[in-house]
Amino acid sequence: MELDFERCYRAVDSRDQRFDGWFYTGVTSTGIYCRPSCPATTPKRRNVRFFPSAAAAQSAGLRACRRCRPDAAPGSPEWDVRADVVGRAMRLIADGVVDRDGVPGLATRLGYTERHLHRMLRAELGAGPLALARAQRAQTARILIETTGLGMAEIAFAAGFGSVRQFNDTVREVYATAPSQLRVARRPRTATGSAAEHTPALPGGAGTITLRLAYRPPLHAASLLGFLALRALPGVEEVRDGTYRRGLRLPHGTAEVALTPADGYVSATLRLADVRDLAPAVARCRRLFDLDADPAAVDGALATDPALAPAVAAEPGVRLPRAVDGLEMLVRAIATQQVSLASARTTLTRLLPATAPTDDGLRAFPDAEELLRVADEGFRMPAARRETIRAAARAVADGSLDLDPGGDREETVRRLLAVPGIGAWTAGYVAMRALGDPDVGLPTDLAVRRGAAALGLPDDPQTLDTYAKRWRPWRSYAVIRLWRAA
């Protein structure tokens, strides 16, 4: 990725936090790298290098700034938006695929050779998949050191390191201090640390971790929580007192998470069955709340339409609520076909007890195997819709349908449309929320059409679809605003 020096330097000189995560500033005279908004004195031009990723800065021998915590910056919005191989790879690395399956597993998921994948990532990010995963492991280790009482050996393996020695060497190299010193120097309130006064209680335990999830302001929290509350499934998720809680299914076990939007960050309390799931849990929570988005770019584009401009001005920072589980979103979309949200929620709530007993607290949505074990009477829906859910679950179970955010969006939509009972609306809804496609229009959606009519826009599907092309590449965000207008 080519970074324009003058543009980057101006962002650093103005300490513009909108660029945090887009690039990193390396200061050769001090040997550190920072986020663009670092409050330290602006370095001289001759001492500055810019890097497209923290991993690239680390590979150049620089250590993370202790003042601005560049590793805690929100991720680049490019990796949420882009549908190419590099964007897919970054989403999978964030979800911990390299730690679990290695680079061969990542390359297999993407359908490329390891060598070609390494070449593409180096060209775009200045670092290969191992270096990118290593940077993420270092950040995970720091969170565990500063926010838990786990022993260093436990943290090393929980963060994904192969040995305690590798863990020690990496932390020393990235943070220029020993792991034990990070724990001694920790403060009650840090960029990723505890914020108890903003954090709702979850049942405690060794696997309970509290941290802050950064985002680029503004964040319209009311629209985000309102959207999720309207669709919340009892037993799986709830919204109460300004906090969203839900159960998660993660690679090594289950989890329960509580997310509370605050000024400049989202406070997250995670209760993990296995602390090795911290990185994927954080990645999925960030994806659910769309925390890596660039609201200035989205709102700036939508505000050029006079019909949307008043809504954008009144409610800046409206996000696109995404998903923590692609199959869950597909089942929800199928259940919502031709019925109201309330009716679909009732149907799904009745389905949950048929999949597995409900434990205390919130549980994860059923996986493909659990859904396939449900008897006919457990679905409480028309037979055709029931069989569509079963066909989708079989496709996910046998690997022929990839609903992870690292999947190929076009190929996934094509395979969805091949499933009997799944049409363009269902495939588009899943692409928007499960796959994170920012440019889905849904012109046939009844609420979208009502919202368009309320704003004085055409509500005929074909005409609306043509009109919506002016909102590219942010049509999904326009859909959220039309739903709110309806």
Residues known to be catalytic: 34, 445
Closest CA to 19 of 67, 74, 90: 74
How long, in residues, is the chain?
A: 486
- Facing residues of 33 across strands? 26, 64
Answer whether the bond into residue 353 is a cis peptide, omega within 30°.
no
In order, the DSSP letters of 36-104 are TT--SPPPPGGGEEEESSHHHHHHTT-EE-TTT-GGGSPPPTHHHH--SHHHHHHHHHHTTHHHHHHHH
Reported as type and span, the H/E element at residue 249 is strand 243-250
- Facing residues of 213 across strands? 266
In order, the DSSP letters of 162-192 are SSHHHHHHHHHHHHSS-HHHHHHH--SS-SS
CA 439/CA 475 separation, integer angstroms:
4
Closest CA to 379 of 414, 409, 346, 340: 346
At CA 33, angle to CA 47 and CA 176, rounded to 5? 115
Q: How far, in Å, are 154, 206, 212 from residue 151 at the CA level?
A: 5, 11, 22
Q: Is 222 left (phi over 0), alpha (psi -120 to 50) or beta?
A: alpha
Reported as type and span, the H/E element at residue 261 is strand 253-262
3-class DSSP assignment, residue 20: strand
CA 233/CA 346 separation, integer angstroms:
8
Answer whether the bond into residue 473 is a cis peptide, omega within 30°.
yes
Q: How far, in Å, are 154, 192, 235, 285, 368 from residue 207 at the CA level?
A: 12, 17, 21, 17, 26
